[in-house]
Amino acid sequence: LSPDCSFTCHYRCRALVRLDCSGPPGAGDEDDGNEQVLEKDTNVDEPSEWEKTELDQAQVEQRIKEYNSQINSNLFMSLNKDGSYTGFIKVQLKLVRPVSVPATKRVPSLQAGRPHPQGVKRRTSFYLPKGTVKHLHILSHTRASEVIDALLRKFTVIDNPRKFALFERSEKDEQVYLRKLGDDEQPLRLRLLAGPSEKVLSFILKENETGEVNWDAFTLPELHNFLLILQREEEEHVRRLRHRYARCRQKMQEAL
């Protein structure tokens, strides 16, 4: 049992425990902080190299054949008679704030013998697990905003879709680039042009950071939840700060 953080482990494993509780390098929850992101690549006004590429029907058919020959699963793309095509995209959810889902709670009867069978629609908030991944089967003309709507429906999230944004992530020269997709961009088209490699292109759902938070867009229950979360975070920061100073004070007293 570590006196610093109350972490319990086997006696033979204690040498492997980091008392600062930060975990091994690169394995913490703050994985976004380890990625070097170029700020200019989060600008939706700057299209990626794939967004600028135009393909005719023959090129689309050839690209689909090449794509299907490179994947190691059954998530193939299919060309339709009308010239459109269907396929799968994988989206990783990296949400740092809680999401709201519907919850039904029955109203207790105010008078004996007069039950109220109807339920009152309520919402509850929770954090989606880190690294949650979802595959979606979409059309070539499916827009990024429609992908966001589909993801929220899959997880029964009732928050305003404008609170979220779809990002493309790519790696080049040991540098990670993130770019927020515009509402009308077509993720499956980007997937086809980039190929199946997740390093070349992957999709991430994140909060739609627009700089200043528009608190008027949130409901009263959401704002109350945020206040509770802020209070808990503040209390945890204060606890850690006091603990750190207490440890420094103890070391100084031992030296004296």
Give the model's pLDDT for residue 168: 93
Q: What is the pLDDT of residue 126?
A: 79
Beta-carbon contacts of 244 under 8 Å, excluding residues fewer than 6 positions away, are none
Task: Please give the model's pTM, rounded to 2 decimal places.
Answer: 0.60
Listing DSSP states for 26-41 in one string gives T-SS-HHHHS-B-GGG
Neighbour-count burial of 196, counting CB atoms closer than 10 A to its CB (0-12 exposed, 13-18 middle, 19+ buried): buried
Nearest to 148 by CA among 210, 77, 208, 223: 208
pLDDT value at residue 32: 47
Averages of pLDDT over each 10 residues, the chain, 256 residues: 51 54 43 44 51 79 93 90 93 89 56 47 77 92 95 90 91 85 92 92 87 70 84 88 92 92
Residue 51: per-residue pLDDT: 59
Other Cβ atoms within 10 Å of 126 Cβ, number:
10
CATH class of 39-101+121-212: alpha beta
